[in-house]
Chain A
Amino acid sequence: MSIMSKVLRLAGALIVLGVIVILAIMFVPTQRTPVQAQIASDDVVVASSGEYVSRLGDCMACHTVEGGKPFAGGYSIDSPLGAIYSSNITPDPEYGIGNWTLDDFRAALYDGIGKGGHRLYPAMPSANYRKLSEADIASLYDYLMNEVEPVAEKAPETELPFPFNQRWGLRLWDWVAYKDAGFEPRYNDPVLDRGAYLVEGPGHCGACHSPRTALFVQSGYNAEDSKFLTGGVIGGWYAQPLRGSNSVSAYWDEAQMVSFLKTGRNAHSGVAGEMTAVVSHSLQYFTDEDLTAIAKYLRHISVDTESSPRVLNVEAEKSTAAMLLAASPDMELGARLYLDNCNACHFSAGRGADGVFPELVGNSMVLADEQGGFLDVILNGAEMPSTATRPSRLRMPGFRERLSDDEVAALASFVRQAWGNNAGPVTAKTVAEVRATTSK
């Protein structure tokens, strides 16, 4: 047999093998993850109403359009591949999940597999929801089936370009992304374990606040992975790190953490960007016990780490404040723009005011390498969500009409360097990009 024919035979065999593998990926039925035993104590998996579980999982944020019928889907999630539309999860038998069994429902949460076996796009955070307890899944199922109004409306189809419209390919991604199902208590402390369960499981905090790999797989699903919750990027915004000595979890105290989660504001900061909807639809409904558990858990995995804690530069704070107060006509452009546009609320010390005007000193959004969020706020303003305990929709106006790209760049660069802030400058080109891609 000639070399050539050997090569041809080998190539032929590889092609056949490849086709078999692809056919197998496409057609061999997936094994659904079975019911997970009730491994956590009652302290950790608190029996709660299905409606409460839906708040914990923030189902509404994605499965309801603004002003639309609850859980009827149609919300557009912008992915790098195109718009992914959420599905109708009301109990309507034709357009919703009315004829889904509990096993079908669990498979969607755990394995990202819809009824009929099709793969769900990973906008559905099944990689996180795999930690949901059976009790929470069952009560959530019961709630969606029996307490939510059925909506007989078809949610729009997601139409991604080839090859991403080949859902069978997601099976490969799922192999990489999905870790063991179920939640393993590990702190021997019911409060910390409850916090870990909420953050890692239903709260799916890691979906935004952890970095993603080149394959868009979340880096880590619990604190044992050093990249877990060390910050990510969503919609051009920096989703700040929730662990580490430089994170807010270390810098804020427990009460301030709870306040932020519950009301979207605290003595240091105010919520903005994608997180606004999380506070609005989900976190404000958490019990104080659950919010405290989250705060304790995040602080637990932050304050004991090795990196040095955040140090404020008191001298630099004073010197910037003094320079602004002196208001010399020949001050640099960025400083003058700050006085003319920002000082009224954030003040010369850059410290704002508790619960109302966010601090700019050490503000993670201001200092982020990913500058989109900060520039978005300067250009378009921001609004705190109305919550039961803090109903004020405090709004910062946008300065899009008032400031040019060069001016925003000078202003943002100044703020990133003022009061001891130490982040790189912003270019007018970056401002122009954010201006072009953000709405008014």
Chain B
Amino acid sequence: MARRDPKKDVVIIGLGWTGSIAGIELAKEGLDILALERGADRDTVPDFQYPNVADELRYGVRYGFMQKPAKSTVTLRHGQNDTALPMRHLGSFLPGDGVGGAGMHWNGNTWRPQAEELRLKSYVTEEFGADIIPEDMTIQDWGVSYEELEPYFDRFEYMLGISGQAGNLGGKTVPGGNPFEAPRSREFPMKPLQMQLGPRMFRDKAEELGLHPFPMPAAIASESYVNEYGMQLGPCNYCGFCERYGCLNYSKSSPQTCILDALKRYDNFSYRTHCEVLKVELSADGKTATGVTYFDEAAQEEVFQPADLVIMAAYSLHNTHLCLLSGIGKPYDPVKGEGVVGRNYAYQMTGGTKAFFEDVEFNPFVGSGSSAYVIDDYGTNQIDFAAEGFIGGGYIHASQLNGQPIRNLPLPAGVPSWGAGWKKGVKDWYGHSLGVSLHGSNMSYRDCYLDLDPTYTDRHGRPLLRMTFDWKDNDIRMSQFMKEKIERVVEELNPTSFKSSYKDIGARYDIRPYQSTHNVGGTAMGTDPATSVINRYQQSWDVHNVFLLGAGSFPQNLQYNPTGALGGLTYWTLDAIRRDYLSAPGPLV
């Protein structure tokens, strides 16, 4: 028999970026709020403190801050006729599992979507005709426009404290920024990060070739910063321990550095860790949620937590999983083409070229997750889809992330992968390479989706989430297009040698090597309840007191990293809740 706790106004599932924003914005309304976090509590000191966190083996290789597959994982298969097997070791993507979520171990690349990306289907149809959309591709408009979201992107960026260079201020092109970006209402909060040699070499060459390089928008402080909550960042020292680590220096934007100490000052907010939500409970008619049931690790018991409003702010995959387990929305059936939950799962297309320079010393240990020059000349809104034969796009970046010695030892072709030859190769080539990489879109398809696995269960006896996903020719063609563009720039840099790694036609999705923690969709937003789980305010079409925050809302993936987009959407939704929902709870659309 589950313990039943006193009712709260709001329960928030997950205390990462979106849960923290929801917490503080709703705390301002005086609501009684409980956030439930499945993982551990974490703070800069002691959890990310100098020098302990700069431990590549513990955190980079052994995933110290990530979810543990023994407790939470997915099963994977490539196609509907395959049998899915559980992912027993993390690889392709790395969801977090503690306070701060994946928002504490990211690289800080913070982008706004293009206006065209937010109405992708309409854009493609208007510009190139609906017939270029492959039959199995299920791309959609988001149901909310760039113009509507601009103030919320702006607010999110100022809350995080982004270092960058605007390229389009209110329609006016600004030199040094991204000329292809949608108009922004003001400059970035901070000047760009300092750039290391590799990115600068790329910038110079790109400019020479008539391209438009600009600094990566970085959730890493280039100077001291104070945000709207009074929270503070200190300037980055370029130690290079960003992705997979918490920042030891209060420099990287995270729920810890940007929100949590301010949120903890509200007496009407509390949070519990090691409390995994098992299910959102619905009323008898299924039209409202009555609260959540979670497993309290400390008490070793299930708890029913009644609440008037449920904010689902878990990682995208877990939000979808919980909807499927709770009966929120109709599960997607790819055969009948009906249902919505699990539909439009998409991923991120990545690839890259490593260039080796025997005479250049890059000092790779000086870097950051966002130390990069970028070109967006081949972005989604710049490509003639009809001519190129694919839908999508990407940005190209030359980054200097880190010089971590276990995983960051790129070697030229021909160097042995073990033994004395490998040792000599490492000695010769450490610090002599420059990576130029693609970060590209991934469309949604009828047979790429999430549902409940028929065989495997988790430690609570719940069916695991099953992922059915593979690469499609459309996206691989985009990748090959980008390969050609990248190799052209790299060749112009005149390296000693270079080697490329991109998806070729026929490539299958491999869940083992890391690609990106940008799993999107599954609880897509939209304007039609037949093809979306949530409305334009990220409110469940079926259960009006449930809101879903995060990249699960994306109907297909952007060419960009998702955090900027999902952060803006979160503020957009919280604004709607505060303005309209609290006074008159009910469907906002």
Interface residues of A, Cβ cutoff 8 Å to B = 340-341, 343-345, 347, 353-357, 381, 383, 386, 388-397, 402
Contacts and interface: CB of A to CB of B under 8 A. Distances in A.
Contact of A392 (B50, B230, B235, B248): B230
Interface in B19-72: 43-46, 49-51
A392 B250 CA distance: 10
A99 to B, nearest CB: 32
A397 B45 contact: yes
B233 A356 contact: yes
A391 B250 contact: no
A395 B44 contact: yes
5 contacts: A356-B233, A386-B261, A388-B230, A392-B261, A394-B232
B interface, over-half SS: loop
A357 B264 CA distance: 22
Interface string B434-449: 0000000000000000
B250 A394 contact: yes
A395 B45 contact: yes
Contacts of A390: 226, 230, 232
Given A391-B229, A394-B250, A397-B50, A353 B45 contact: no
B249 A386 contact: no
Contacts of A354: 224
A381 B231 contact: no
B588 interface: no
B515 to A, nearest CB: 31
Contact of B224 (A343, A355, A388, A391): A355
Contacts of A381: 45
Interface residues of B, number: 27
B234 interface: yes
A396 B523 CA distance: 41
A interface, over-half SS: loop
Contacts of B49: 395, 397
Interface of B: 43-46, 49-51, 223-224, 226, 229-235, 237, 239, 248-250, 257, 261-262, 264-265
A345 B237 contact: yes
Given A355-B224, A356-B224, A397-B49, A344 B249 contact: yes
B239 A344 contact: yes
A184 to B, nearest CB: 39
Contacts of A397: 45-46, 49-50
A345 B234 contact: yes
Contacts of B257: 392
A343 B366 CA distance: 14
B311 to A, nearest CB: 22
Given A357-B234, A391-B262, 6 more contacts: A344-B50, A355-B224, A355-B226, A356-B235, A390-B226, A390-B230
Given A389-B230, A392-B232, A397-B45, A347 B262 contact: no
B102 to A, nearest CB: 21
Contacts of B248: 344
Contacts of B249: 344-345
B41 to A, nearest CB: 13
B79 to A, nearest CB: 49
Nearest to B248: A344
A340 B237 CA distance: 13
Which are the 7 A-B pairs with shortest beta-carbon distances?
A356-B234, A395-B45, A397-B49, A391-B262, A354-B224, A391-B261, A392-B232
Contacts of A353: 223-224, 234-235
Given A345-B237, A393-B261, A355 B45 contact: no
A386 B263 CA distance: 11
A389 B230 CA distance: 5
Nearest to B234: A356
B476 to A, nearest CB: 43
B230 A391 contact: yes
Contacts of A343: 237
A389 B249 CA distance: 21
Contacts of B265: 386, 388, 391
B223 A391 contact: no
B53 to A, nearest CB: 10
A389 B226 CA distance: 10
A236 B105 CA distance: 39
